[in-house]
Amino acid sequence: MNKGLLVILCIVVLAAASFIVLKRLPAAQSTVPATVKEESMATQTPVLSPTAAPARPTYTSPPPVTVDPNKTYTATMTTSLGIMKLTLFAKDTPVTVNNFVFLARAGFYDNTVFHRIIKGFMIQGGDPNGDGTGGPGYRFNDEPITRDYTRGTLAMANAGPNTNGSQFFIMHANYPLPKNYVIFGTIDASDSASLATLDAIANVPVGESGSGEVSRPLTPVTLTSVTIEEK
């Protein structure tokens, strides 16, 4: 074979091979394995705390008491399932009511969730972390508890004596809890609209929490805001 023709042939073959390699590389480099996408989507769980919520302030000590025990304080909780109005017991538990009023007016509760729901027992919220681990950065002491845990009762959740922070619960039904949780408000028994909202929240489907308790809402229930009125 003519040497010149052989050289030309070699060049053509090499060029064709190079074209094939270059054509395949971009496809191989830009393809994400399907198993990675499916795994990522399969392991997603419902978001319990708003991801776009602004950072909340934390405090080093409880707020000074500024509520007037001779005034009537009402809290209006606007939730993703309706509104609940609660009368606060400023005369009976001024420190606890003061704490709740302070945090509410500071916007601490805005766009948090009810992270623990047990139908026939209670709904729990007030945690900025949305999972039961958060608080305002301080704790304060208990106040005397004389009332019972009846339907609509608002009380403080805690981790033991004198460990109150920001988390609270609202009783969905009468329940004989030991008097270890400061009661500081209630939904009026004649307020059918607020009680209907309480029922709607308590009836949200739940699954297992990290501890194995069946109380984690499968669909987030948001506490949009808490507004305080005094008179």
Tokens of residue 190, six digits: 């004649």
Q: pLDDT class for 229, splitting at 50, 70, 90?
A: very high
Over the stretch 104-116, which tens digit does the pLDDT of each residue have? 999 999 999 999 9
DSSP string, the chain: --HHHHHHHHHHHHHHHHHHHHHHHHHHHHPPPHHHHHHHHHT-----S-TTPPPPP--SSPPPP---TTS-EEEEEEETTEEEEEEE-TTT-HHHHHHHHHHHHTTTTTTEE--EEETTTEEEE-BTTSSS---SS--B------S---TTEEEE--SSTT-B-S-EEEESS-----S-S-EEEE--TT-HHHHHHHHHHHTS-EEE-TTS-EEEESS--EEEEEEEEE-
Residue recorded with tokens 């919220």 = 125
Residue 34 has pLDDT above 60, yes or no: no
- Closest Cα partner for 168 from 94, 116, 222, 215? 116
Q: Compute CA distances 127 → 48, 53, 80, 124, 168, whole Å.
A: 11, 13, 16, 9, 8
Over the stretch 9-22, which tens digit does the pLDDT of each residue have? 444 444 444 333 33
Tell me what the pLDDT averaged over the chain comes to: 82
Total Cβ atoms within 10 A of residue 180: 12
Question: What is the reported pTM?
Answer: 0.77
Q: So what's the pLDDT on residue 26?
A: 28
First to last CA, the chain: 108
Contact 216, 206 (CB under 8 A): yes
